[in-house]
Structure 1
Amino acid sequence: MDLSKKWVMVVIAIFCSVLWGSAFPALKLTYAELQVESSDVTAQMVLAGIRFLIAGLIVIIGLLIFNRSALIVTRSQWGVLLLFGVIQTSLQYLFFYIGVSNTTGIQSAIITSSNTFFTILIAHFIYSNDRLNWQKCIGLFAGFIGIIVANWGQSFDANFTLTGEGFMFLSAFTSAVGTIMAKQMGKGIHPFALSGWQLTIGALILLVIAVPFLPAGSFHFTPLAIGLLIYMALLSAVAFALWYSILMYHKASHVGIYKFFVPVSGVGLSIMLLPGESFSIQIAFALIFVALGIYLVNRK
Structure 2
Amino acid sequence: MPKFAETIFQIMKKFFLSTTVLAIIACLLWATPFTAIKIGLKYTTPLQFAGLRFFLSGLIILPFIKDFRVKVKEASKRWRFVLWVALLQTTFLYGLFYTGISYVPGALGAMLIGAQPLFAAIMAHIMLRNDKMSWQKVFAILLGLSGVCIISLGRADFVFTTTIPIGVGILLLNNIVGSTGNVIVSRDAKNMPPRVLASFSMIIGGAMLLLFSIPIEHPNWTAVHPGEYYISLGWLAMVSALAITIWFGLLGREGVKVSNLNTWKFIIPIFGACLSWLVLPNENPDTISLIGMFVIACSLLLVNFLNRRAQKAQVRLSSMASH
Question: How many residues are paired up?
Answer: 290
State how far apart, in whole Å, the 1-side matches of 2:284 and 2:168 are: 23
Identity of aligned residues (%): 25
Any idea what the Cα deviations from partners look like across 1:143-192, whole Å, max 9, x if unmatched? 01111121234335373625533322222221111111110122321111
Distance 1:286 1:25, change over 3 A: same
Structure 1 4/200 Cα, relative in aligned 2: closer, same or farther at 3 Å?
farther
**Distance in 1 (alpha carbons) for counterparts of 2:112 and 2:222:** 29
Post-superposition offset of 1:226: 0.5
The residue number in structure 1 matching 2:233 is 229
Show the counterpart of 2:141: 140
Q: Which structure's CA Rg is the greater one?
A: 2
CA distance in 1, matches of 2:283, 2:168: 20
The equivalent of 1:251 in structure 2 is 257
Give the distance between the partners of 2:269 and 2:231, measured in 1 at CA. 23
Q: Give unmatched runs, 5+ long, in structure 1.
A: 37-42
* TM-score when normalising by structure 2: 0.80
Q: Is the 8 A contact 1:109 1:262 kept in 2?
A: no
Q: 1:219 to 1:87 in 2, by over 3 A?
A: farther
TM-score (norm 1): 0.86
Q: Which residue of structure 2 lines up, in the alignment, with residue 181 of structure 1?
A: 184
Q: Map of 1:79-90 to 2, 5 A cutoff?
A: 79-90=80-91
- Aligned match of 2:293 in 267, 287, 295? 287
Distance in 1, matches of 2:174 and 2:89, equals: 9
- Within the candidate set 44, 47, 71, 1:45 is matched to 47
- The whole-number CA distance in structure 2 between the counterparts of 1:6 and 1:216 is 43
Shift of 1:45: 0.9
5+ residue gaps, structure 2, are 1-9, 310-323
- Summarize the alignment of residues 10-89 of structure 1 with structure 2, pairs less than 5 Å apart: 10-32=20-42, 34=43, 36=44, 43-63=45-65, 66-68=66-68, 69-89=70-90
- Give the superposition deviation at 1:7: 7.5
Is residue 25–residue 274 contact of structure 1 (8 Å, CA) maintained in 2?
no
User: Are 1:164 and 2:167 an aligned pair?
Assistant: yes
String of CA shifts for 1:113-164, please: whole Å, max 9, x gaps. 1111111111112333321112212211210111112123433537362553
Q: 1: distance between equivalents of 2:128 and 2:16?
A: 20
Query: Residues of 1 paired with 2:145 and 2:157: CA distance?
Result: 14
Structure 1 position 110, deviation (Å)? 1.7
Instruction: Report the RMSD for the aligned CA atoms in angstroms.
Output: 2.7
